[in-house]
Structure formats: structure tokens, C-alpha cells
Homo-oligomer: A and B are copies of this chain.
Amino acid sequence: MDTDKPLVGVIMGSASDAGVMKGCVDVLKEMKIPSEVKILSAHRTPEQTREYAATAAKRGVQVIIAGAGWAAHLAGAVAAQTTLPVIGIPIDSSPLNGMDALLSTVQMPSGIPVATVALGKGGAKNAAVLAAQILALKYPPIEEEVSRYRKALTLAASERIDSWDDKER
């Protein structure tokens, strides 16, 4: 595992999605997984999106995470150009609270899957965790990070278990 080359490509459809996507990038950093971040639009920069997706594997990228709102085609457009696993984050930036982005991302036709996670910030974090779980199958250091992350999550949640009760009484 060459720590200089990005293993995960993180892309988003618009600069306005950066606030949501930061959750994704932060988790990747926390797990020390090298990544690259780009703003690419399936509709406004289709050539660059295609080029990015078609060359990702050659450049060493192993998982692509794509976040987009509205008629969110980004993850699907990328999945059409590569056989790397593509994770889609539907972003709730439209008046329809993200139902449009969710259906546009998850309802992919037979043969070209997108691994879709939850809407918005929670989904952005989970996309990073899912990418780590995929890479952990191959890279023992990432497996350790995933294991550590889950234990910390459980521990933090466990410590909270009686806290509210105590406060209340």
C-alpha cells in the first residue's frame, strides 16, 4: 500500500456540496486512507468526469465515492465508466429533501451498481467507512483502522448508555 497515491477518489457534483462531503474526507483522514477530492459534474463537465472515472483504476484508485443532489447522476455516470466499486451519497440539497437524489442514485439499472448510503452528512461519513471496509479486505493496516474505528464507536456509545438516565434522576 503506497501511502502517497490516493486509494479513494472523492468527487462531488458542486462546490455547494463541500460542507456535506467534508464528513467523508475527515473520516478517511482519520483512518489514514490516502484520498483525492475533486468537484466534477456529470452534466457540466461530462468529459472530465468520464476521463476521471475511466483512468481512476490505472492511477491506483480502488474505490470512488460520489456525492450529488437533485437528479444525482454523478455516481451512476462514474459507475458506467469503471468496474471499481462506486459509492453514492445522495445529498438533500433540493426542495424535495433529497428524495430525488436518493432515487436517482440507488435505482440503477441491472449490471451497473452504485453502493448507496444514507442522505446527507450521515451518509457522507458512512461512505468513508464503507470504502474503508472494502479496502480492509486487502490492506491489513486499513483493517486495523476499521476495527479500531468500530471499537471506538461502540465504546463511545456504551459510555453514553447510562449517562442520560443519571442526569435525569
Contact = CB atoms under 8 A, between A and B. Distances in A.
Interface residues of A, number: 90
A74 B35 CA distance: 30
A133 B64 CA distance: 12
B168 A45 contact: no
A163 to B, nearest CB: 6
A168 B126 contact: no
A110 B130 contact: no
29 contacts: A36-B165, A38-B164, A38-B165, A40-B161, A43-B76, A44-B111, A44-B153, A46-B80, A48-B158, A70-B107, A71-B73, A71-B106, A71-B107, A71-B109, A73-B73, A83-B143, A83-B146, A85-B134, A94-B118, A95-B119, A95-B120, A96-B99, A97-B97, A100-B107, A106-B116, A107-B118, A108-B118, A113-B117, A113-B129
Given A84-B133, A111-B129, 19 more contacts: A25-B168, A36-B165, A39-B162, A43-B79, A43-B111, A44-B111, A44-B153, A46-B80, A46-B81, A71-B73, A85-B134, A87-B115, A94-B107, A94-B119, A96-B97, A110-B125, A111-B149, A113-B127, A115-B116
